[in-house]
A and B are shown apart, each in its own frame.
Chain A
């Protein structure tokens, strides 16, 4: 198995998944649904009429329209129903008409105000009950402001919340590392819909073999904790995205790796050398002090922690059985960590890189499946393990704030990309393509001004 050539494997994958393709095409010709664990679920129909505008705001309205429409689609909560060109949509809402089209929700929006200070008035109608569910006027920043698109994403997220009770994930970003040359890497940030790519580090400019790793956005989206080799060994740093200030978080010992923020943003958990192996430590951020050891692995390595949403538990990568597996441990009560990834006596397991869902109910990680990495989710008690991907090799999952979407790095379609997977429907889209982008981390919802 170990020596199997990718080409052979690729053919097998094609054969294995060919039967799924028909279902995927029937539902959504633009996307591919992956995996073998998804069952097509019911998605309520949603119609969004074109954003109306006054005066000379037509171009801006078209821009707003495309962002809102894409966000509502990418929420994966609705079946987006196209509006036929010849449909009369002026005048009072004709619920019967929308009902006939299969809509459960109707979004009507209008751009008012001035081109410099536009106001977006959005209403959500419940077509089934023939009533106005919510309406709100959102004051937008200047369209030339860098935060204009992010503000539109916040509008989309609110509309999703009106309809589902849970906010959308549009007003978020993903931080990752990119191989900018075959041998040098830097950190990048991108909006979760694939727009607004921004380079955060420029280490490759002065070092043709620069290594940066493991970027993680703080809960408020202002800081990025990461690892760089710029002093010759792995050191944990924190970059302030507002001021550009960069500070050292931990450079003690031989390696300092895998930083993550606690849910309240006050602490950073990271792996560091202790007695010739790696253990997890927690350090207070502000002021930077009071590092304490968190894990006590007598042999082997422990690294790559992820907090539960309440901050009381950790999912960790550890090797007490010889190979890396995922464990859950209680930060306050102590006691032995319990294994949650699949372990079969006598078989070589390999599971790393856990991320705990913001909803608390699932842990995602990647594991070997027939010598290739695939994304898996599991309950925090180790039950109900589900393999989420089945093609290519896919690594380092990170949950979106809604706890149902995952971003990961992988080769699902034969090339490297950052993929976003809806773990409920199996719908898949790429955020970046044609670059070796790795170690993505999905931010929390970003506050205004981010």
Chain B
């Protein structure tokens, strides 16, 4: 009984305490965050992580697209490969394969061909490069290319205008002989105005005696 009496007294005290609280200002509410964040469960955690992954992958893809637009295909390739490796299943990773195939095609299309001094004939090494190009271009018949003819520093400025044009024309002629449509190609000669290698040595001269392949219509790929 004594024990019961004590419990009863405690209950009374508690009841008084509750009644006293009811008459005072309400206590500070708990922080909003604590109220709004749902208790994490496994499903929602995975969703958050998936969203974060997708966003990171999308950033990679954007970066890769920018690199492609800037002509930095090596970087674009490495970014798409990273997307495939690290973000499998994301939209970016799913499209990366197609993009990598396009980059491969672009690299083949853009590979330069080179010429001998004061010559515009297609050398054997250039023929192999053009053959590979033609194989790719057949799959992309709507591509438009500008083929630029360039010369090294040793020729005359003005004569090189004509020589560069002849190099570009002969390159087109060779591609057409492989079955491609002449409509795919424009040509321009830059003579020796736009060297890619500096220096007065055979390595630089050889690098500069070239045809460049500029893709005017990426969308067609």
Q: Does B118 contact A (CB under 8 A)?
A: yes
Instruction: Give chain A nearest CB distance to B171 CB in angstroms.
Output: 12
Question: B156 and A353: CB pair below 8 A?
Answer: yes
**Bound form: Cα–Cα A165–B29 in Å:** 111
**A257 and B154 within 8 A (CB):** no
Asked if A352 CB lies within 8 Å of chain B CBs, one says yes
Most buried by A among B118, B159, B165: B159
Number of A-B contacts (CB under 8 A): 84
CA distance A233 to B186 in the complex (A): 11
Contact assessment for B157 and A371 in the assembled complex, using a CB-CB cutoff below 8 Å: no
Contact (A439, B189) CB under 8 Å given A3-B202, A5-B201, A255-B165? no
Given contacts A183-B194, A209-B194, A211-B193, contact A232 B188 (CB under 8 A): yes
- Set of chain B residues within 8 Å of A438, measured between Cβ atoms: 157
The digit string for A207-249, where 1 denotes a CB below 8 A from any CB of B, is: 0010101100000000000010100111000000000000000
Interface residue A45 (Cβ < 8 Å from any Cβ of B):
no
Question: Does A401 interact with chain B (Cβ within 8 Å)?
Answer: no
Interface residue? A350 (CB, 8 A): yes
Return chain B residues, CB-CB under 8 Å to A395: 156-157
Which of chain A's residues 1-49 have a Cβ closer than 8 Å to chain B? Answer: 2-3, 5-6
- Name the distance in Å between A258's Cβ and chain B's nearest Cβ: 5
Report A-chain residues with C-beta under 8 Å of the C-beta of B154.
Answer: 371
Known: A3-B202, A6-B200, A255-B162. A439 touches B157 (CB 8 A): yes
Indicate if the CB atoms of A255 and B189 lie closer than 8 Å: yes
Q: Contacts of B162 on A, CB cut-off 8 Å?
A: 255, 257, 271, 277-278, 301, 303
Contact A352 B159 (CB under 8 A): yes
B residues near A371, Cβ cutoff 8 Å: 154
Closest residue to B168 on the A side, CB-wise?
A: A254
Interface centre among A255, A276, A352, A438 (most CB of B within 10 A): A255
Which residues 414-450 of A sit at the B interface, judged by CB distance below 8 A? 438-439
Shortest B3–chain A CB gap in Å is 97
**CB 8 Å contact bits of B123-155 with A (1 = contact, 0 = none):** 000000000000000000000000000000011
Complex contact A303–B189 (CB within 8 A): no
Question: In the complex, how many angstroms separate the beta carbon of B215 from the nearest chain A beta carbon?
Answer: 15
Known: A255-B165, A371-B154. A304 touches B202 (CB 8 A): no
| A278 touching B165, Cβ below 8 Å | yes
CA distance A202 to B78 in the complex (A): 41
How many residues belonging to B are interface residues under a CB distance threshold of 8 Å?
23
- Which B residues are in CB contact (< 8 Å) with A396? 156-158
Given contacts A2-B202, A234-B189, contact A304 B158 (CB under 8 A): yes
User: Are A324 and B159 CB-contacts (below 8 A) given A234-B189, A350-B118?
Assistant: yes
A57 to B187, CA, bound (A): 62
Which one of A5, A183, A234, A373 lies within 8 Å of B161 (CB-CB)?
A: A234
Tell me whether A276 and B157 are in contact (CB under 8 A).
no
Q: Is B193's CB under 8 angstroms from A303's CB? A: no
When distances are taken between beta carbons in the complex, the residues of chain A under 8 Å from B200 are 5-6
Once bound together, how far apart are the Cα atoms of A323 and B156, in whole Å? 12
List the A residue with the shortest CB-CB distance to B159: A352
A366 at interface (Cβ–Cβ under 8 A)? yes
B165 and A303 contact, CB distance less than 8 A:
no
- B174 to A: closest C-beta gap in Å: 13
> Any chain A CB within 8 A of the CB of B212?
no
Distance, CA A271 to CA B163, complexed state (A): 13
What is the CA–CA distance of A130 and B122 in the complex, to the nearest angstrom?
A: 73
Q: CB-CB < 8 A to B158: which residues of A? A: 213-214, 257-258, 303-304, 317, 352-353, 396, 439
- Kindly list 14 other residue pairs between chains A and B, CB separation below 8 angstroms, not including A211-B193, A214-B158: A5-B200, A185-B193, A213-B157, A229-B193, A254-B169, A255-B189, A278-B162, A303-B159, A317-B158, A348-B118, A350-B118, A373-B156, A396-B157, A439-B158
18 A-B pairs within 8 Å (CB atoms) are namely: A2-B202, A3-B201, A5-B201, A213-B161, A229-B190, A233-B188, A254-B165, A254-B169, A255-B162, A257-B161, A273-B165, A276-B166, A301-B166, A317-B158, A348-B118, A352-B156, A353-B158, A366-B156
Instruction: Give the 7 A-B residue pairs with the shortest CB-CB distance, closest first.
Output: A301-B162, A352-B156, A278-B162, A352-B159, A257-B161, A211-B193, A255-B165
Give me the interface of A with B, judged by CB distance under 8 Å: 2-3, 5-6, 183, 185, 209, 211, 213-214, 227, 229, 232-234, 254-255, 257-258, 271, 273, 276-278, 301, 303-304, 317, 323-324, 348, 350, 352-353, 366, 371, 373, 395-396, 438-439
Q: B residues touching A (Cβ–Cβ < 8 Å)?
A: 117-118, 154-159, 161-163, 165-166, 169, 187-190, 193-194, 200-202
